A and B are shown apart, each in its own frame.
Chain A
Amino acid sequence: MPFRIKLPQVGESVTEAVIGRWLRKPGDHIEKFDPLVEIVTDKVSMEFPAPHAGTLTRIIYADGAEVPMGTVIAEMDLDDPSVDTGDEAEAQPAGAPDSSPEEVGRVGRMVSGANVGPTGGVFADATRNVARQDAEPAQPAQAARPDRGDLSTRFSPVVVRLAAQHGVDLSRIAGTGIGGRVTKQDVIDASRRGAATTGGEAAEATHVAAREPGPGESAAPGDRTVEPSPVRRMIAARMVRSATEIPHAWTAIEVDVTNMVLAREGKKAAFATRHKAELSYVAFTLHAIARALRSNPLVNSSWQDGKILVRGAVNVGIAVAAPHGLVVPVIRDTDKLTIAGIARATAPLVERARANRLTPADVQDGTFTLNNTGALGSVLGMAIINHPQAAIMNTEAIVKRPVVVSGSGGDQIVVRSMMNVTLSFDHRVIDGAEASRFVQDVRRNIEGYAPSMDIGD
């Protein structure tokens, strides 16, 4: 019997994954722990190693397939069939009359041909066959949609509630339910399409466009269609979800980072020698952000099912441009680390991200995200929140600029290193006042740095 390779449970709250790419093909001989297949989840992509040594015989789910955790994705012949696969359910109970190769799990399953009569004696189990014949619907489509008359103007409680919540005009929706009824899904779809009441004709146009994707759109000469990679599709789905579910609001401030620049200049050489790692600006800004999150707990939270979940831990993620797309490794308990500690924790994460080797643990449990767009030269950006967090911060490029400062000798123009800091926030969770308080705290923390400061190394 071939050994069945199952998609492992990778990370909490992950129920399915996409087969990114098979790295080996049927017939290949593989050693234990050889990279076998690339697995993409909504949080991370990783290489899944071969569980045993042997020959890959069959690939059941091809590249791009979406599969639930625990599904058998391939089969292999083991070099050593006596090896302990640790999979007891595979073992056939000795002498069991209806042992089946399918695994039963704790939920169990019904077996065919079991004697169901008292004491398990000979008993013809006619029930199921008869039931099958009887219930075979002659016209399944019709049986499933009995006539209930026109329901296009009768709205269920959840439809009314969601329509009010998302500002959807029910009269504009053509219901897909029975009798033309507008279903919950119809309202959700409409709100995603933006068929809200606010825009009048614009909304109508969106609506139509969404229904009929113009066939000519991609037909212009020179155009080409690119099939997005599984990672790209995952990012797309997450962005749409955040942008449609979260009402984004936005604020930006200027921060004088002159002292932070001086502090880093003074420490980075010693730090590099000591730790073989870079002391980046990100370590300084993360430290300032983590402390500000501590004093503004609502920013470190999440809107979940109509309630605000205020997170106990401060785990700040940093957006990293990895080879296949954006990933967000998380620095745990950021608020408990010194600047040097953050720099040391960040370096290996960024390295793993760029090498495409992040583990699920690296990307879990984030409570806030930092997007260091300054590294790309950006001076002003509006980030999309990393759903379901409440906010995301951009730290933009550090630019030397003439700035008016007030001193004892009156106002004067001096050259300072300035950085824009922007915050996109979930307006359901906080208002502008709280957002401003938070970004001002971040600013104060950064401007409080001194060239001679202790970075806790």
Chain B
Amino acid sequence: MAVKTVIEAVREAMREEMRKDPRVFVLGEDIAERGGVFLATDGFLKEFGPARVIDTPLAESSIAGIAIGAAVNGLRPIAEIEFADFVWPAMNQIVGEAARIRYGTNGTKFVPMVVRMPYGGGVRGGLYHSQTIDVVFAHQPGLVVIAPSTPYDAKGLLKAAIRSDDPVIFLEHKRTYRLVRGEVPDEDYVVTIGEADVKRKGDDMTIVTYGLAVHYSLEAAELVKDEGISVEVVDLRTLAPLDRTTFLESVRRTSKALVVHEDYHTYGVGAEVAATIAQEAFHDLDAPVTRLAGPDVPAMGFAPTLEAEFMLSPEKIATAIRELAAY
């Protein structure tokens, strides 16, 4: 099976869906002539022409607004927000409108739109190119939020998102783009939205995580393996709707849970996962549900030391694993 990077998987998913379905088109800043700042749409303008590969002004509110209008009228737009950090002007369109249109029209109108956003830090991006925004959208009923970690999942989930009839926020951790390689089948496939995936089996504790942190967690699990600690890693893959069954089943068996994410600690995905475990798996717990998450500071610093302090790492996760294992 071919080995690909995450960015290659993302590009292939869009290209294949565009070849198959003429209603699919892409729009965003610098995505046509330039092929996108991360080259996600490299070569698209040549293949699909300017009617389906549209460079927009630097105005996220209009990117989202145009996409919603096109989607409601029967097209299947894929909007790229160049960096998730820039999505804030589009909040009204995405949260105020897209999330609520199906509900507000009594199910007669819907918004088959995908908004792709490179997010996350660890790329020396500083304040405006490192933000995690995961939970902002996951908190809004009416939006599907996907955050894959591997090339296989990225391609399969992006295809599923493009075919979905509801607005999907598709979060691509930019540090995984060229860092993570994995097998991707040549044939057409989708990964079901809303299903978590056990990326590593283990007995002593369950790590619940997603995105780049999946790979850090897998490395951390490897680091503590020789110390006799067996760690299961659950990749949520979809943040909304949240697959509670998979991590609950795992924690009922291991009796210990560590939630790991780069997004902020307070009110983060970890809070929801921890609360679910406390409520549904209380009698199976052998230790407090523990969170390892980004610090509650307004931005990731540009200085390497500050960035490293903010970011997760396999070593930081391994330390948290050891503490929980010793409990």
Interface status of B165 (Cβ within 8 A of chain A): no
A386 to B247, CA, bound (A): 30
A residues in contact with B39, CB < 8 Å = 119-120
The reply to whether B311 and A131 contact each other, CB–CB distance below 8 Å, is: yes
B residues in contact with A145, CB < 8 Å = 323, 326
The 4 tightest CB contacts between A and B, nearest first, are A108-B182, A135-B315, A131-B313, A144-B322
Given known contacts A114-B178, A156-B285, A184-B255, A15 and B3 CB-to-CB distance under 8 angstroms: no
A residues in contact with B304, CB < 8 Å = 126-127, 130
A163 to B169, CA, bound (A): 46
- Find the B residue at minimum CB distance from A108: B182
- Find the B residue at minimum CB distance from A124: B124
A residues in contact with B51, CB < 8 Å = none
The reply to whether B255 and A106 contact each other, CB–CB distance below 8 Å, is: no
Given known contacts A116-B174, A116-B175, A144-B326, A157 and B123 CB-to-CB distance under 8 angstroms: no
**How many pairs of residues, A versus B, come closer than 8 Å at their CB atoms?**
146
Interface status of A83 (Cβ within 8 A of chain B): no
The reply to whether A119 and B37 contact each other, CB–CB distance below 8 Å, is: yes
The listed residue (A108, A117, A177) touching B326 by CB distance below 8 A is A177
Given known contacts A89-B1, A108-B152, A127-B307, A116 and B182 CB-to-CB distance under 8 angstroms: no
Q: Which of A82-129 contact B (CB under 8 A)?
A: 88-89, 93, 96, 99, 104-111, 114-120, 123-128
Interface size on A, residues (CB 8 A): 49
Interface status of A137 (Cβ within 8 A of chain B): yes
Least CB distance, A164 to chain B, in whole angstroms: 11
The listed residue (B1, B200, B285) touching A157 by CB distance below 8 A is B285
Interface status of A158 (Cβ within 8 A of chain B): yes
Least CB distance, B234 to chain A, in whole angstroms: 12
Interface status of B273 (Cβ within 8 A of chain A): no
0 or 1 for each of B138-182: is its CB under 8 Å from A? (1 = yes): 000000000001111000000000000000000000110111111
B residues in contact with A131, CB < 8 Å = 308, 311, 313, 315-316
0 or 1 for each of A139-165: is its CB under 8 Å from B? (1 = yes): 010011110000000001111010000
Of the listed residues A15, A106, A111, A128, the one surrounded by the most CB atoms of chain B closer than 10 A to its CB is A106
A439 to B235, CA, bound (A): 49
- Find the B residue at minimum CB distance from A115: B178
18 A-B residue pairs with CB within 8 Å: A104-B182, A106-B183, A108-B182, A111-B179, A116-B122, A117-B124, A123-B123, A123-B124, A126-B124, A127-B122, A130-B308, A131-B311, A144-B326, A157-B282, A158-B285, A161-B283, A178-B326, A178-B327
0 or 1 for each of B289-327: is its CB under 8 Å from A? (1 = yes): 000000000000000110111010101100100110111
Interface status of B38 (Cβ within 8 A of chain A): yes
B residues in contact with A104, CB < 8 Å = 3, 181-183
The reply to whether B313 and A157 contact each other, CB–CB distance below 8 Å, is: no
The listed residue (A88, A107, A181) touching B218 by CB distance below 8 A is A107
The reply to whether B174 and A130 contact each other, CB–CB distance below 8 Å, is: no
The reply to whether A127 and B326 contact each other, CB–CB distance below 8 Å, is: no
A183 to B324, CA, bound (A): 11
The listed residue (B181, B199, B313, B319) touching A144 by CB distance below 8 A is B319
Interface size on B, residues (CB 8 A): 52
B residues in contact with A80, CB < 8 Å = none
A115 to B319, CA, bound (A): 27
Given known contacts A110-B215, A157-B283, A177-B326, A116 and B177 CB-to-CB distance under 8 angstroms: yes
The reply to whether A156 and B215 contact each other, CB–CB distance below 8 Å, is: no
B residues in contact with A124, CB < 8 Å = 124
Interface status of B219 (Cβ within 8 A of chain A): yes
The reply to whether B285 and A116 contact each other, CB–CB distance below 8 Å, is: no
- Find the A residue at minimum CB distance from B282: A157
Least CB distance, B107 to chain A, in whole angstroms: 36
Given known contacts A104-B183, A105-B182, A123-B123, A184 and B307 CB-to-CB distance under 8 angstroms: no
The reply to whether A116 and B179 contact each other, CB–CB distance below 8 Å, is: yes
The reply to whether B183 and A89 contact each other, CB–CB distance below 8 Å, is: yes
Interface status of A223 (Cβ within 8 A of chain B): no
A128 to B180, CA, bound (A): 14
- Which residues of A pack against B, CB within 8 Å? 15, 88-89, 93, 96, 99, 104-111, 114-120, 123-128, 130-132, 134-137, 140, 143-146, 156-159, 161, 177-178, 181, 183-184
- Find the A residue at minimum CB distance from B311: A127
A83 to B3, CA, bound (A): 21
The reply to whether A159 and B286 contact each other, CB–CB distance below 8 Å, is: yes
Least CB distance, B31 to chain A, in whole angstroms: 13
The reply to whether A108 and B178 contact each other, CB–CB distance below 8 Å, is: no
- Find the B residue at minimum CB distance from A176: B326
A residues in contact with B219, CB < 8 Å = 110
Interface status of B287 (Cβ within 8 A of chain A): yes
A215 to B132, CA, bound (A): 59
The reply to whether A158 and B319 contact each other, CB–CB distance below 8 Å, is: no
A378 to B327, CA, bound (A): 50
The reply to whether A118 and B123 contact each other, CB–CB distance below 8 Å, is: yes
A residues in contact with B285, CB < 8 Å = 156-158
- Find the B residue at minimum CB distance from A187: B286
A253 to B198, CA, bound (A): 48
B residues in contact with A96, CB < 8 Å = 3
A88 to B311, CA, bound (A): 35
- Find the B residue at minimum CB distance from A132: B315
The reply to whether B178 and A120 contact each other, CB–CB distance below 8 Å, is: yes
Interface status of B201 (Cβ within 8 A of chain A): yes
B residues in contact with A125, CB < 8 Å = 124
A residues in contact with B38, CB < 8 Å = 118-120
Least CB distance, B324 to chain A, in whole angstroms: 9
B residues in contact with A116, CB < 8 Å = 122-123, 174-175, 177-179
- Find the A residue at minimum CB distance from B197: A107
A137 to B322, CA, bound (A): 12
Least CB distance, A452 to chain B, in whole angstroms: 56
The listed residue (A106, A126, A140, A183) touching B182 by CB distance below 8 A is A106
A130 to B255, CA, bound (A): 33
The reply to whether B122 and A108 contact each other, CB–CB distance below 8 Å, is: no
A124 to B304, CA, bound (A): 10
Least CB distance, A158 to chain B, in whole angstroms: 5
A residues in contact with B2, CB < 8 Å = 88, 93
The reply to whether B315 and A158 contact each other, CB–CB distance below 8 Å, is: no
Of the listed residues B123, B151, B307, the one surrounded by the most CB atoms of chain A closer than 10 A to its CB is B123
A104-B182, A134-B309, A143-B319 are known; give 7 further A-B pairs, CB within 8 A.
Answer: A89-B1, A93-B2, A108-B182, A109-B182, A116-B175, A116-B178, A136-B315
Q: Which of B120-134 contact A (CB under 8 A)?
A: 122-124, 129
The reply to whether B323 and A146 contact each other, CB–CB distance below 8 Å, is: yes
Least CB distance, B88 to chain A, in whole angstroms: 20
